Amino acid sequence: MKTSVTLPQSREKPTAGSRKRKRLEAGMGYLFTGPMLLGVLVFTLIPMIFSFVLSFTKWSFVTGFDKIRFNGFDNFRQLMQDEVFLKSLGNNFIMLLAVPAGMGIALILAVIITSHVYAPGAFKVIYFMPQISSVVAVAVVWQVLFHPSYGPVNGFLSALGVDHPPKWLADPTYALPSVMLLMIWIDLGVSLIIYIAGIKNIPADLYEAATIDGASKLAQFRSITFPLLTPTTFFLLVTGIIGNFKSFALVKVLTDGGPAHSTSVVVYDMYQTAFVDLQTGYASSMVMILFVIVLAITGLQWLGQRYWVNY
Amino acid sequence: MKKNVFALVWIVVLLVALAGCGKSNNTNGAAPAAGSTAAPEAGESAAPSTEPVTIKVANWSPAADMEPVLKAYEDSHPGVTLEYVELADNGDSVAGMKKLDLLVASGENLDVVFMPGATDYSQRAGLGLLAPLNDLITKEGITLADEYTIDPSVDGKVYALPDTLENYFVLLNKDKLDAAGLAVPTEWSWDDYLDYAAKLTSGTGPSKTFGTYFHTWAMYWELGIINQEKDNNLVNNGIVNIDSAGIRKSLELRNKAEESGVAVPYADTISQKLAYRSEFFTGHAAMIVTGNWMIGEAGGSEEFPATFTTAFAPMPSNSAGEPSGVSIANGNYVGILEKSKHQQEAYDFIRWYSTEGEQMQNVYSAWKKQDVDQFIAGVKTKAMSPDNIDETSLAYVIKNAKPAPLSVPPTYQGELETAFTKETELFILKQQDLETTISKAQAELQKIVDANK
């Protein structure tokens, strides 16, 4: 507040030196970023620290602060023997496969859409559709498509002569792949749009030169498109993996982590532990493990990028 | 340098602002807020009932259902104001419990809270949220066993009074029963139940009528023990009850029904998230095992109008010689929060509500002195289509019900049910056989019991 009052004064005396102006500018900077910083502090940083502290306690959020009891590393020790948690963590890692798979499909589609189809705008809209629809609506539609007895998917399979089509969402072996399929389908639009933007950024003369040299389309893709898209790929990989670790809504709406925990993921298990079993401390320690894993994977990717990303 | 100093100042300012927030929050949560919200006039809590008192009552029922009853209490008890906190907008008790936990965690000064079932009740009692009522009960001079069908004590202490009574029976689609030439059963076993289900199954494809539908709840995996007088829980007095004839019976029953195609396939149930009300009222399933809360709904509701006559049959027994109609008695519970400032007034209210209030609302209550005939008549007058309730069989089932005392489950009942359901799911989806299921479930539940010792 005070800085805005001093603003006209400082303008009257421009001779006061560049130091003062710099300080003023910095002040204005903080003033403008202040609300955001405050938001980050109150809603992100402090809860994170709080959650870190809670991960060493046995506590339920309904009982009030006076009942917090520290128990050291007990939660983590217990987590290492918690079958549901380990299963969820394993599922998380299997689910990561959906990220490169989805990106591959998006890249192929992006190449086709930018140069080989009529009305590319329409295709972009079509592929982006699932992203703008609510997850709940999408999940309900797929729930019906995957109906084990009368669903169109199994109807099609039995028309092809498959005797015992999988039960999809109700089958412990197929439930996780089904969920991953949907994830790919939902997130395709975003990767596609970003890839198209990346492709548009590649200078056309590279392709012209390659064509003159007689390079085939495939060779052009391999030597021009793909290498020049590596920064885009890197961005999508990092954000995709982080997003994938946080997947919750789809699992919650589609399968509730079932059957028999086959689609449970860490965030879902955490939700269940914190808000159904009311064990806040234990759930916080799950979050800490997830945080460390995501941090480690992202760090590894940053370190690894110099070997394959061309800027 | 200077820039850094400035940044530091900013951060300090922000932290101070934050600390301010934190502090004021704390004081709100801790003590004196009660004075402002709960009892504006009764600041000094020393005075008992003569001072006007406001009691906050939290329940998931729609306000329209609760308010007439609360109004009646206010009218007969001058000086007491009841403030109703509606926990869910569609009567969803699961959502209601989540809202309740958040309200409690954020320091809302509730006094009276309702809980839908023993699992939710014992969990919260175990966390120390509820005030023990033993002293208040002794002071009033009543014996709970004389007053209520259900014994609400957890480890010897009473943290809530039983509100509604919930025991189980079978709802039957009488139109389909008549079409198949079957009588409404009064004494039957699970084998007869399967037999009925087979005879009631007809048609193919999406319009197929199944004989029965089993919901996803844990109770549908333990049908052979919840119809027992004793040892009717997954864990009784610390002893895991999985490796028992009752659980074997339950799982075999589910498996037979699934394999012969007389029950809605479990894969459909979970992948489509089927709901028992719609399955029954659309005629997709001809029989369902369910509880008292469905008595009123048998006459139809806005969402599921009754298009056929519903008949009632007692809970089947495990074998032909045993009596039918035995079922564990569960129900809603009503307790007082530990930090409530008006324990005595709140207690007076829950005593009234769990007895006369219930009578007014015409719900089936755990109060032993309720007038059953009046209740049945009330069901008919309140129902949307009263002719679709088969009164004879309803009266028979209610009067011949044998509510078995439910050993209020340990505070970790929820964990037990999750672990048990996981194994039974693998069994019904043909991922493992019966013996593997029994031994794995027995071992897992034992682990949970040991961890909670």
B7-57: pLDDT as tens digits:
555 555 555 454 444 433 333 333 333 333 334 443 344 444 467 889 999
Of B5 and A306, more confident: A306
How long is chain A?
A: 311
User: Are B318 and B227 in contact, with CB atoms under 8 Å apart?
Assistant: yes
B183 inside 8 A of chain A by CB: no
Q: With CA atoms as reference, report the closest residue to B405 among B337, B334, B326.
A: B326
B123 contact A CB<8A: yes
pLDDT digits (tens, 9 = 90+) for A92-142: 999 999 999 999 999 999 999 988 888 888 998 999 998 888 888 988 899
pTM for the predicted model, two decimal places: 0.81
A41–B contact, CB cutoff 8 A:
yes
Q: Which of A24, A33, A46, A62 has the highest number of chain B CBs within 10 A, making it the mutation to test binding with B?
A: A62
Q: Do residues B144 and B152 make contact, with C-beta atoms less than 8 angstroms apart?
A: yes
B350: exposed, middle or buried (Cβ count in 10 Å: 0-12, 13-18, 19+): buried
Helix (H, G, I), strand (E, B) or coil at A277: coil
Complex confidence, ipTM: 0.80
**CB proximity A38 to B under 8 Å:** yes
What 3-state class would DSSP assign to A69? Answer: strand
Q: A167 to chain B, minimum CA–CA distance in Å? A: 7
A150 touches chain B (CB under 8 A): yes
User: Residues B57-77: pLDDT tens digits?
Assistant: 999 988 888 888 999 999 988
Identify the residue among B272, B340, B411 best suited for mutation to test binding to A, counting A beta carbons within 10 A and taking the highest: B272
Alpha-carbon distance of A118 to B416, in angstroms, equals 58
Query: At A286, which amino acid appears?
Result: M
Nearest residue on chain A to B18, alpha-carbon basis: A42
A112 contacts chain B (CB < 8 A): no
In angstroms, the CA B263 to CA B356 distance is: 40
Which of the residue ranges A66-70, A171-175, A221-225, B25-29 would you say has the lowest mean pLDDT?
A: B25-29
**Would you call B127 and A172 a contact, using CB atoms and an 8 Å cutoff?**
no
Q: What is the mean pLDDT of chain A?
A: 89
User: Minimal CA–CA distance to B444: which of A172, A43, A83?
Assistant: A83
B385, two tokens:
């289509």
Q: What single DSSP character describes residue B203?
A: -
User: Is B270 close to A169, i.e. CB distance below 8 A?
Assistant: yes
Q: Establish if B181 touches chain A: CB-CB under 8 angstroms.
A: no
DSSP B330: B
**Identity of the amino acid at B11:** I
Backbone angles phi, psi at B170, to 5 degrees: -115, 130
Block means of pLDDT (10 residues each) for chain B, 453 residues, are: 51 50 39 38 44 90 87 90 88 87 88 90 88 92 86 86 90 94 94 95 88 93 91 88 94 95 92 90 93 86 88 94 89 91 92 88 82 84 86 90 75 87 93 94 92 81
Query: Can you tell me which residue has the tokens 């009543």?
Result: B142
Would an 8 Å CB–CB cutoff place A34 in contact with chain B?
A: yes
A34: chain B residues, CB-CB within 8 Å:
10, 14
Which residue is associated with the tokens 């972009």? Answer: A124
